[in-house]
Amino acid sequence: MEFSAQAIATFLGGQVEGNPDIKVNTVAKIEEGKPGALSFLSNPKYEKYIYETQSSVVLVNNDLVLEQEVSCTLIRVPNAYESFAKLLELVNQAKGAKTGVHKQAAIEPSATIGQDAYIGAFVYIGENVTIGKNTKIYPNSYIGDNAKVGDNTIIYAGVKVYDECVVGSSCVLHAGAVIGSDGFGFAPQPDGSYHKIPQIGNVVLEDNVEIGANTTIDRATMGSTIIRKGAKLDNLIQIAHNVDIGENTVIAAQTGIAGSTKIGKNCMFGGQVGIIGHISIAEGVKLSAQTGISNSVKKPGEVLIGSPAMSAGQFHRSFVLFRNFPEIRKEIDSIRRRLDAISE
């Protein structure tokens, strides 16, 4: 599929600088540009590449000031990154949407499949399941009894949605995600063994939630584990039973959140964050990678680093001392030796 610079600018509400009739048929990073490609520049760190890129068209911010001539055609927009994302979404939609039920899919008679849904090979859909319209379920996925999946949701290959769980509309579940496995509930016994506590709740993913590959979300002991609308979870995350994650919160890979913890909306967690159970985290909190949280965070918008966690300012001040410990140790030893000499 081919688009002219002018057609792209019209779609994005941008302005063309250069040849409005030049056409592009692919996308590329600006440093790897080639003729016929569309690129974008939003980070000033990459500005040097605009003077040497081979891309035919480059999206740039309105406020970009060029230091020299460029060979490519520019499209100026308020936010080049957001505009490029819109174009990628358009390209993705243009690939063609799958519909229909594969002959090797297994669907229980009591299940309801919405209009224009796609059910791939070796998918199993259990009893009384409801699948929304235009939803795509790719091969080797499992949807358990009484589960519900909303409209326009994409469930990639190998996803498991256990019994009774609810997946909202316009969600994306990437390959290998497990929704609704048992929470880690075991009661210690006098003889040192453990008795399994039945997990009879479910998981609820609200609308516009995205779950990364091989992320696991445990069903509640009772009630629901809830991922609220707009939340985005990266790959390889563990969410324990009865956790409640707020709207539009984003969590990076390898984070673990223990049971019954409540996360506010609009939070941002880096990779490998660890959070104990039965605490709460306020809205807008930011946790740096590998931060360990052992107490509730009550201040909205707080930025925390380290394990155990401390404020960003306190961490940076402490790190200056930590980094200089060898020299501080030498000074202390030198002072001790001088004091010993005086006392003798």
Q: Which residues are catalytic?
A: 241
Cα 163 to Cα 43: distance, rounded to the nearest angstrom: 45
Q: Which two three-digit tokens encode residue 202?
A: 């479910």
Give dist(CA 234, CA 228) in Å, integer: 15
Helix (H, G, I), strand (E, B) or coil at 18: coil
Residue 136: strand, helix, or coil: strand
Residue type, 195: H
For residue 201, what are its two tokens? 């709740």
Whether residue 211 contacts residue 217, with contact meaning beta carbons closer than 8 Å, is answered with yes
The helices-and-strands tally (H runs, E runs) of the chain is 4, 40
Torsion of CA 245, 251, 257, 259, to 10 degrees: 20
- Spell out the residues 6+ positions from residue 80 whose beta carbon is closer than 8 angstroms to its own: 40, 41, 42, 59, 60, 61
Which class for 343: exposed (0-12), middle (13-18), buried (19 or more C-beta within 10 A)?
exposed
Residue 294 backbone class (left: φ over 0; alpha: ψ -120 to 50; beta: rest) = alpha
Count the Cβ atoms, other than its own, within 10 Å of residue 302. Answer: 16
